[in-house]
Amino acid sequence: MASRDLIEERLRYRILTELQRNGRLTNQELAQRVNLSPSPCWRRVKDLEESGVIRGYAALLDPEKVGVPVCVFTLINLEMHSSESLEAFQEAVRIRPEILECYAITGDADFLLKIRVPDIRAYERLLNDVIFRIPGVKHVKSSFTLREVKYDTALPLPRPAEA
């Protein structure tokens, strides 16, 4: 790798690491932390945003303090895997705010959902009013979390090569 490319890779790594730690840093603060002047730092951040590496910024809320303390991981099996049934399921999931994450997975289930609700009754309503009514849902298995052991939003970035 050329020397200039290596320098850029290291700057990108440092910028992304700092922004994952604190997305509210001002450009001035970020520039100081990564040892750049503000203008080149701002240009690099804009490039990362425009290329889609940085997808957005968000405030991380405490689920208990905002009233959704119950976290449920739900495994879903579909009867069929036609493009129509897959799209219908995915669209029904996308529009529900309680469903924070949805992954198509391998193994014993087709999808894994991460759901946040105020209480078990709210989860039961979501199951009965939404999930069980999605055409093609065959089987649902729920696991309620007892406590959160680790929660992190920062991705494990590959470290740039050393000189």
Token pair 């879903």 is at which residue? 76
Sequence ranges of the chain with CATH classification 3.30.70.920: 70-144
Rounded to two decimals, what is the model's pTM? 0.90
In whole angstroms, what is the distance from residue 155 CA to residue 26 CA?
21
Q: What tokens appear for 33 in the block?
A: 């932390």
Pick the CATH number of 70-144 from 3.30.360.10, 3.30.70.120, 3.30.70.920, 3.40.50.620: 3.30.70.920
Backbone angles phi, psi at 111, to 5 degrees: -140, 150
By the 8 A CB rule, do 116 and 100 touch? Answer: yes
CATH of domain 3-50: 1.10.10.10
163: burial class by Cβ within 10 Å (0-12, 13-18, 19+)? exposed
Task: Read off the pLDDT of residues 92-113 as tens digits, 9 standing for 90 and up.
Answer: 999 999 999 999 999 999 999 9
> Burial letters for 24-52: b for 16+ Cβ neighbours within 10 Å, e otherwise?
ebeeeebbebbebeeeebeebbeebeeee
Sequence ranges of the chain with CATH classification 1.10.10.10: 3-50
Task: Read off the pLDDT of residues 11-22 as tens digits, 9 standing for 90 and up.
Answer: 999 999 999 999
In whole angstroms, what is the distance from residue 119 CA to residue 142 CA?
14
